Structure 1
Amino acid sequence: MSNRDLVNLAELHTLVPVIWPLKPTGSSFIPAFPVKCPAGYPSPAADFCETPLDLHAYLVKHRAATFIFDVCGDSMKNAGIFDGDKIVVDRAVEAKSGDIIVAILNGEHTVKRVHITSDGIELRPENHLYQTILLGEAEELIVFGVVVGVVRKLT
């Protein structure tokens, strides 16, 4: 981790609602069917066997480096990230071109898809109403982490 990646956590908590550290509380196993659930025409489920799914283990690979952020805004809606969602961000995953990241740009947080081009670094929204951010040499970019999951309640 370079000095550019370091963040004052006390300052971070005042800027963005973050749940840290991420720890499971109690049992997080939920029964899961080993059958794909078609979103088109119904399909009879094969054997209704239940296989337990630990949501924490499914979403969190690096516990000490994983954070949850509350999303506000709709710039990433075409990537399936909506206003009010919670995103799971892993700082241990190295960002590569095409990943969705939480970036700190000139002291402000943003969620965007990062693209590394011959002209430099671009932070692209997933909503045509927003413009791509082209990073200039004077701008400071810190990649906080890679978005590895989205959590949303439907009701």
Structure 2
Amino acid sequence: MESVGEYGMSMHLTVLGRVDTTAPPLTIPLVGGFVRAGFPSPADDYLEADLDLVSHLIQHPSATYFLRAKGTSMEGAGIYDGDLLIVDRSIEPKPGHIVIMSVDGELTCKKYGKMGNRPYLFASNPNFKPIPLTGRDCEVWGVVTHNIHSLAPGFAV
């Protein structure tokens, strides 16, 4: 288990950069139909279209940037150490959103919510306490819209 402070703001984040809005689209074939995650079935052997992942994953390119997560506090939400997060600064955080926030100068990734009428950040790992935001120096850096998690061993995203 990693070493954590009183409120577990130990999800360290590395800012990787912004979306290049001048880059030409890079399309990848999108296979039509769905793949079953249970029992195998005959596949649809045709390409539906080309898919540009940037336009599919990023709604506001000029307000979007990428971060790399480090730590275990958000594992219950499917965010693991080393995952690539896509963050949109133009979205107003609402309860239930996973946000990137600076709290007292420390950058963290947590779920935004309320206890009573007071705002809190919540980890998705029971080993971490909720972080009260009242009376603290807080700045929202954006809402996490997507998480890219590698499933292939040794293949970093």
TM-score category by the smaller chain? Answer: 0.7 to 0.9
Give the 3-state SS of the residue equivalent to 1:71 in structure 2.
Answer: strand
Per the normalisation by structure 1, the TM-score is: 0.82
| Matched residue, 1:22 | 19
Structure 1, unmatched stretches of 5+, are: 1-14
Structure 2, unmatched stretches of 5+, are: 1-11
- Higher helix residue share: 1
| Matched residue, 1:57 | 55
Measured in 2, the distance between the counterparts of 1:143 and 1:102 equals: 6
Find 1:148's aligned residue among 137, 145, 156. 145
Indicate the structure whose relative CO is greater, using CA pairs within 8 Å and at least 6 residues apart. 2
Map Cα deviations across residues 95-126 of structure 1 (whole Å, 9 max, x no partner): 10110000110011000000024240110011
Give the 3-state SS of the residue equivalent to 2:142 in structure 1.
Answer: strand
Map Cα deviations across residues 11-47 of structure 1 (whole Å, 9 max, x no partner): xxxx953233311645421111121111111121234
In structure 1, give the amino acid aligned to 2:30: A
Of residues 42-51 and 107-116 in structure 1, the stretch that sits farther from structure 2 once superposed is 42-51
Find 2:30's aligned residue among 32, 38, 41. 32
Give the 3-state SS of the residue equivalent to 1:43 in structure 2.
Answer: coil
- Higher strand residue share: 2
| Matched residue, 1:115 | 113
Map Cα deviations across residues 33-67 of structure 1 (whole Å, 9 max, x no partner): 12111111112123423321111011111111101
Measured in 2, the distance between the counterparts of 1:129 and 1:72 equals: 16
Per the normalisation by structure 2, the TM-score is: 0.81
Percent identity over the alignment is 33
Aligned positions, number: 140
Whether 2:89 is the aligned partner of 1:83: answer no
Measured in 2, the distance between the counterparts of 1:32 and 1:43 equals: 18
Measured in 2, the distance between the counterparts of 1:122 and 1:44 equals: 48
Q: What is the alpha-carbon root mean square deviation over aligned residues?
A: 1.8
Map Cα deviations across residues 126-149 of structure 1 (whole Å, 9 max, x no partner): 111211112232x11111100001
In structure 2, give the amino acid aligned to 1:58: H
